[in-house]
Structure 1
Amino acid sequence: MDAHQINQLLLHTIRTWDPFGYGYDAYETEAVDVLQAVHDCDEPKMLAEKIQAIYEFSFEKVIPFHECVKMAKKLLEIKESAACSLP
């Protein structure tokens, strides 16, 4: 899987997460910010903090931290599995 495919898979995963029930198209800006955070972080709790802050900044609502940790772990798993498959 090349970098473009990894990013597409990560973006798809982020965009389909609907923590506030606003629908698929409500999180475009946040999805891009979270994608960047995934590339900057390798530790689930640190990434979860960034995810929580990104959504809180945009929506002035806090996603429960345990939900952010679940998403962070899922995203890092995708990133790590893709990295393992690179030649």
Structure 2
Amino acid sequence: MQMQQTNLLLVYTLDQWDPFGVGPGNYDTEIADSIQAVHDLDDQVELARAIQSIYEFSFEEIIPLENCKEISGRLLEIKNNGFCAM
């Protein structure tokens, strides 16, 4: 899968995640930062902690690490395999 297609799928996956229930389309900054983290990290737990920190910084609320591990696993699968197993 081309990088652009991978990134679009990563954006879609994160946008649909909606951890704070504010609706898709309200996480542009967090999504951009999270996608950078996906490209920088290969460990699911490290990525989960990075995502947790990114969203906490913006929303001043902590997402449970288990929720972040779930999404980080999906994101790494997209990155590594070029498809989404939702």
TM-score range, shorter chain: over 0.9
Q: TM-score when scaled to structure 1? A: 0.92
Larger Rg: 1
The corresponding residue for 1:56 is 56
Report % sequence identity: 50
Once residues 10 and 26 of structure 1 are traced to their aligned partners in structure 2, the CA distance between those partners, rounded to angstroms, is: 15
Q: What letter matches 2:58 in structure 1? A: S
Whether 2:55 is the aligned partner of 1:26: answer: no
Which structure has more helix as a fraction of its residues? Answer: 1
Structure 1: 5+ residue runs without aligned partners? 83-87
Structure 2: 5+ residue runs without aligned partners? none
Q: Which runs of 4+ in 1 moved over 4 A?
A: none
Q: TM-score when scaled to structure 2? A: 0.93
Once residues 14 and 28 of structure 1 are traced to their aligned partners in structure 2, the CA distance between those partners, rounded to angstroms, is: 10
Count how many residue pairs are aligned between Structure 1 and Structure 2.
Answer: 82
Once residues 20 and 32 of structure 1 are traced to their aligned partners in structure 2, the CA distance between those partners, rounded to angstroms, is: 17
RMSD over aligned Cα atoms: 0.6
